[in-house]
Structure 1
Amino acid sequence: MRKFKTIISVLVAAVLALSLVGCGGGSSNDGEKKAEKVVIKFSHVVAETTPKGQAALKFKELVEQKSGGQMEVQVFPSSQLVGDKEELEALLANNIQIIAPSVTKLVGFEPSFQLVDMPFLFASDEAAMNFYNGPMGQKLMHSLEPKGMLGIAWWPNGAKHFTNNKRPLKTPEDFKGLKFRTQSGGLLDAQFKALGAGSQTLAFAEVYQALQNGTVDGQENTFNNTDTQKYQEVQKYLTVSGHGRLDYVVLTNTKFWNSLTPEQQNIFNESMQEATEFATKLANELNDKSRENIEASGKVEFYELTEADREKFIKVLEPLYAEYEGKIGKEYIDAAKASK
């Protein structure tokens, strides 16, 4: 009898164990799988205090909030993960999922992006943004998709202004004999050549030291980049010229994008749209504040081009339009000129 009771106890225990497994208590294999967290690496080369740096953090905040933590954005500022020479390659390899390179960095993939370097093309910040958000700007942004990169937003940084360490730059003649840092060759080299100056391509992270040791005499940048990179410590003169643009195209890897569910893509797009609105407002505010900071430092002499000054520069640089119209595309240049 005792042996029979023992057998019954063992059978009952086995039945209970099997019932627990059947209900999912003992294994997750047959249960509903928990969705894996999506990790998005966002790498950029500027300081967190810049419009791009702040917009990247805003995007992170929005994505993580909207996804309930199921999507995580890891932001790497100031070339902490990869530098501006390597970021495009890293994106194409899907080692990082988002970058926001300066538009000029994309010229090697699509020559039409040289548009932003056309001197004195855009009449104002508003004109530039109206072009970017219009049909031709959107067409240009999406032109990289066949190459494995999906354009998802234009982020403004602002108009560029000249700085140098030798003399005030008031006329085209003042540029003769000087050497300027450029972020890429092509049109920017041609711009300085037309002004009688030399140029040298340098990575963003190398500019301060190059200015400090005299490798180059000057550079062109937004007020905010000049301020946050502390160029006022190694530059004596700033010409408020607004001659070109330094804006960004936010890119993601197409394979990564296609791996997201429709719901995740919606979260991504909504967050990017809100971050872009934030970036646009912030760029104007931070550039204004940075101009005040540079002026308040007392280390830099300012000169603001008059309309008469601008006309002199436009006349000297006008041949670049004929030279680059075929490379950029007349339709893009005409649309940019027409933007108000």
Structure 2
Amino acid sequence: MQTFLRRTALATVAALALGATGAAFAQDIKPRIIRFGYGLNEQSNQGRASKVFAQAVEKASGGKMKVRAIGASALGPDVQMQQAVIGGAQEMMVGSTATLVGITKEMALWDTPFLFNNVQEADAILDGPIGQKIMDKLQEKGLVGLVYWENGFRNLTNNKRPITKLEDMDGIKLRVMQNEVFLNSFKTLGANAIPLPFSELFSALETNTVDGQENPFNTIVSSKFYEVQKYLSVTNHVYSPWIVMASKKWWDGLSKDERKVLLDAAIQSRDFERKDTREEAAKAMADLKTKGMQINQLAPTEAARMRDKLTKVNAQVAANVGMDLWQETQNTLTKMRSK
């Protein structure tokens, strides 16, 4: 009887030990969950690329890392997410570089009106030494920049009139991003520039709180601005990038292999996103016409007039980002264009 009881006790201890080991093992293989916030809806170019990023991370990590992509500003507008990422309350996000200017002044370079002539110039500068230099500055502020995605060349929509010349901007209540360069640029062009978070924009257009806004074609389509806007003027006044970022507090706790998984996945998502965005933008104008928008192309002579009017704004950007960085960018662009 004693032998039986002893065997039973040993079996119980063994079972408990096995259970504890199993529990510990289960805990060890629990995937690392990464909250990745973005502003547009799931059906947008931003949403599609976020899905590609999530899938690439899970595949490369063998399921040990899982990205929860959370769109439609559910984690807050860009500025709010930036603070959460800096504080470590949120791991990652993708958002506009324009809303980072208050954190890293060099980001204002990307807000320069008419800086790039085409996407090839934008890719070369963003992915080259200049883009990396600016991205590296984020680490001083608690953020780690991984890659730039494309938002695209920005265009104007409004409910007042087509913008065919500089004077048509006069008095239009135009929503702009919460960014000094955008505010100063559109005030200089004669608009009544009103800063608003993107999450409040559709409602502001619908209630006529603002007359218009400016965004790339893709955002105009995916956010259904055609439902509340009549005129679209193709101005291509600014090339606007997005940037994928991580919390430095969180990033510093990752292994070298985990960081590589995230960076490789970010590059993969960037390449997908740019191709996807450009293909969608090429079709967007036809889509917006069928949805009832009246579309006009700003003449080169009028674009030149706007560019000339914004000379002082460009000088302010140069002073803010530093003359060395400004001159390096201008020299690089000049060399590219001479080829």
1:12-67 deviations in Å (ceiling 9; x for gaps): 5555666x469x53541998673342000011111122222111110111111222
| Structure 2 residue aligned with 1:316 | 309
Q: Is the 8 A contact 1:195 1:316 kept in 2?
A: yes
> Aligned pair 1:236/2:223, yes or no?
no
2:21 aligned residue (11, 17, 28): 28
> Aligned pair 1:108/2:97, yes or no?
no
1:51-93 deviations in Å (ceiling 9; x for gaps): 2211111011111122222211111110123233411121122
Amino acid at match of 2:133: K
Q: Is the 8 A contact 2:87 2:249 kept in 1?
A: no
Distance between the aligned counterparts of 2:81 and 2:75, measured in 1? 9
| Structure 1 residue aligned with 2:145 | 151
> Aligned pair 1:136/2:121, yes or no?
no
> Aligned pair 1:43/2:37, yes or no?
yes
The structural deviation recorded for 1:332 is 3.3
Q: CA RMSD in A?
A: 2.1
Structure 1 pair 190–30 and aligned structure 2 pair: CA distance change class (3 A) = closer
- What percentage of residue pairs aligned between the two structures are identical? 28
> Aligned pair 1:307/2:300, yes or no?
yes
Distance between the aligned counterparts of 1:89 and 1:31, measured in 2? 34
The structural deviation recorded for 1:158 is 0.5
Distance between the aligned counterparts of 1:113 and 1:201, measured in 2? 18
Distance between the aligned counterparts of 2:186 and 2:127, measured in 1? 29
Amino acid at match of 1:7: Q
Amino acid at match of 1:123: N
Distance between the aligned counterparts of 2:24 and 2:241, measured in 1? 49
> Aligned pair 1:117/2:111, yes or no?
yes
> Aligned pair 1:327/2:301, yes or no?
no
Distance between the aligned counterparts of 2:79 and 2:7, measured in 1? 68
Q: Which moved more, 1:217-226 or 1:81-90?
A: 81-90
1:220-262 deviations in Å (ceiling 9; x for gaps): 1000111111111222211111110222111100121122222
**Counterpart secondary structure, 1:69:** coil
Structure 1 pair 7–260 and aligned structure 2 pair: CA distance change class (3 A) = same
> Aligned pair 1:7/2:5, yes or no?
no
Q: Is the 8 A contact 1:161 1:221 kept in 2?
A: yes
Amino acid at match of 2:239: R
Q: How does 1:45-60 map to 2 (within 5 A)?
A: 45-60=39-54
Distance between the aligned counterparts of 2:285 and 2:328, measured in 1? 30
Q: Is the 8 A contact 1:51 1:282 kept in 2?
A: yes
| Structure 2 residue aligned with 1:209 | 203
> Aligned pair 1:226/2:220, yes or no?
yes
Distance between the aligned counterparts of 2:281 and 2:61, measured in 1? 32
Amino acid at match of 1:323: Q
| Structure 2 residue aligned with 1:166 | 160
Amino acid at match of 1:186: E
Q: Is the 8 A contact 1:224 1:291 kept in 2?
A: no
Distance between the aligned counterparts of 1:252 and 1:75, measured in 2? 13
| Structure 2 residue aligned with 1:82 | 76
Pair member with larger Rg: 1
Distance between the aligned counterparts of 1:182 and 1:275, measured in 2? 27
Q: Is the 8 A contact 2:99 2:179 kept in 1?
A: no
Amino acid at match of 2:238: G
Q: Which moved more, 1:79-88 or 1:61-70?
A: 79-88
TM-score by length of 1: 0.91
Distance between the aligned counterparts of 1:100 and 1:332, measured in 2? 24
Amino acid at match of 2:72: S
Q: Is the 8 A contact 1:163 1:236 kept in 2?
A: yes
> Aligned pair 1:181/2:175, yes or no?
yes
Q: Which moved more, 1:265-274 or 1:329-338?
A: 329-338
The structural deviation recorded for 1:281 is 0.8
> Aligned pair 1:270/2:246, yes or no?
no
The structural deviation recorded for 1:335 is 4.0
Structure 1 pair 9–230 and aligned structure 2 pair: CA distance change class (3 A) = closer
**Counterpart secondary structure, 2:28:** coil
Amino acid at match of 1:45: G
